[in-house]
Structure 1
């Protein structure tokens, strides 16, 4: 039996759920569960770290995602049953790591972890698993499981336009990132300037589709970089429809992503993309980075 902890926003959840699928692929003889207990807590709306997102979303966004959820008996057997996010973090500091638990150091979250994938027997996994190489063998299956539902009228119209034009998707994440020491300052104007300049070097007439939580910044800072080419600011997806920004990215012919798991998945799941531009480094930490797909263009 194997159990994978799920936490964070949708992008992080997708990495963890995909890791569970990779374990299922590697160990077809074992039962693989996911652990969503930390989303069921009275503290959900009160503490930083869990009130930034929309709760557990995988089952709502992806109807084909059907891995079973671990219950009390499965969790108690190989880990700890603490259905409260805040108390579970305290427990991690006070309780010993059980022999059946695997929790790599934080620096390994962006690196391919062969040991984790190949570990046999009962195991509870807690990490982020943000390396494309964890999922190489199941990419086609992931594209199927993470396929979107029927679009509403607004997104259906955008999909037609994205497919019709030389579309370039640009993701700009600000908001919470402005106060996160590990992520802030990487995807500034200079990054987007370099990537857009390279896109425009092909001489084609492009249409830029902007996905962001700070459209005012984008209008002020990105518009001067596109040399007068058409720009569409995608503003119609909010709340439970926010995931559609990621789905729309999967149709773009070129992508300039942020150092965010949200646009990472927009790029990884895209079946039509020619060029993906990604920032290097991915975060402000001195650690090994294996987060990039081999075909992506790193912008230094």
Structure 2
């Protein structure tokens, strides 16, 4: 339950994008406070919404897969509800979506629980995280061919998130989807500002690539990337290799752009991140990205 003072545990849950936010924040915390990181992935034992993929990256930290017992589950529920007890025990539970500048400066934390969807927690470790968060498994022949095309061209990635944002009523209510007009405006912005030109190749990534083939068209050459649903980290890696990125309101999209090591990159992001207006997204989009 409680870890030693020199060890800090992060509880991992959610899709790949959320897994990366949680890990990156914990990594940054441990670096700043000189602690060893334990990556707790025990929740995935009984979680069938998204697969664990964090363990398929080039991360060297210890993974804990031991399932919590009934007593430990009750213990965490009590701590989550009683802030005073949580603070005494060294457990940090995220209170909201906004950045908490007290988190990284509290060296008594032994456990982190939350989503931490802002680079403000880990931006200073960008170069290190870019090396840690690449796939540890070899790309297949098709993925290598896409990689070669990206590396040998002026490339732009467009990630179009549909999937559960349409099929799941709760996700649709919370997130909504970016329409075609948004992607057209983003491309027009890049062309008008001479960030891309008519020779730029557009690489389309999506969880509904057949819909994209039927509905997406530009004057530029388009490569529709057939994604690998069993290894989404490889699709994210390919997105990160493109010179510039247009993203959807998706943490998967977000990370594909953030892991782009091009110092001159331009990233276009939707100004409305959540359809649910009560959710505060003001810290999610990095200051250097363009919001349309």
- Report the TM range for the smaller structure's normalisation: 0.7 to 0.9
Given candidates 253, 263, 272, the residue that maps to 1:281 is 272
Q: SS at 1:184's partner residue?
A: coil
Residue 23 (structure 2) pairs with residue 17 (structure 1)? yes
1:291 is aligned to 284
2:255 is aligned to 265
- In 2, are the aligned partners of 1:58 and 1:65 still within 8 Å (CA)? no
Residue 242 (structure 2) pairs with residue 252 (structure 1)? yes
Q: SS at 1:211's partner residue?
A: strand
Given candidates 107, 110, 120, the residue that maps to 1:123 is 110
Given candidates 105, 113, 124, the residue that maps to 2:100 is 113
Q: With structure 2 as the length reference, what TM-score do the two structures score? A: 0.83
How big is the shift at 1:124? 2.3
Q: Deviations over 1:92-139 (max 9, x none)?
A: 69964532322232xx32x32211111121432211011111112211
- Aligned residues, how many? 271
2:156 is aligned to 168
Q: Deviations over 1:223-280 (max 9, x none)?
A: 1xx12x21111115231x2221101011111111111111211111111262110111
- In 2, are the aligned partners of 1:35 and 1:69 still within 8 Å (CA)? yes
Q: SS at 2:282's partner residue?
A: coil
1:81 is aligned to 72
Q: SS at 1:114's partner residue?
A: coil
Q: Which runs of 5+ in 1 are unaligned?
A: 45-50
CA distance in structure 1 between the aligned counterparts of 2:20 and 2:182, rounded to whole angstroms: 26
Given candidates 171, 177, 183, the residue that maps to 1:192 is 183
- In 2, are the aligned partners of 1:103 and 1:127 still within 8 Å (CA)? yes
Given candidates 212, 219, 224, the residue that maps to 1:218 is 212
1:192/1:288 Cα in 2 relative to 1: closer, same or farther (>3 Å)?
closer
Q: Which runs of 5+ in 2 are unaligned?
A: none
CA distance in structure 2 between the aligned counterparts of 1:53 and 1:232, rounded to whole angstroms: 27
Given candidates 229, 236, 256, the residue that maps to 1:238 is 229
Q: Deviations over 1:39-69 (max 9, x none)?
A: 123xx3xxxxxx2311x2211x213332453
CA distance in structure 2 between the aligned counterparts of 1:88 and 1:261, rounded to whole angstroms: 30
2:49 is aligned to 52
Q: With structure 1 as the length reference, what TM-score do the two structures score? A: 0.81
How big is the shift at 1:182? 1.5
- In 2, are the aligned partners of 1:280 and 1:298 still within 8 Å (CA)? yes
Q: Deviations over 1:139-198 (max 9, x none)?
A: 11101111234322111111111111221101011111123111114x111211110112
CA distance in structure 2 between the aligned counterparts of 1:125 and 1:139, rounded to whole angstroms: 20
CA RMSD after TM alignment: 2.7
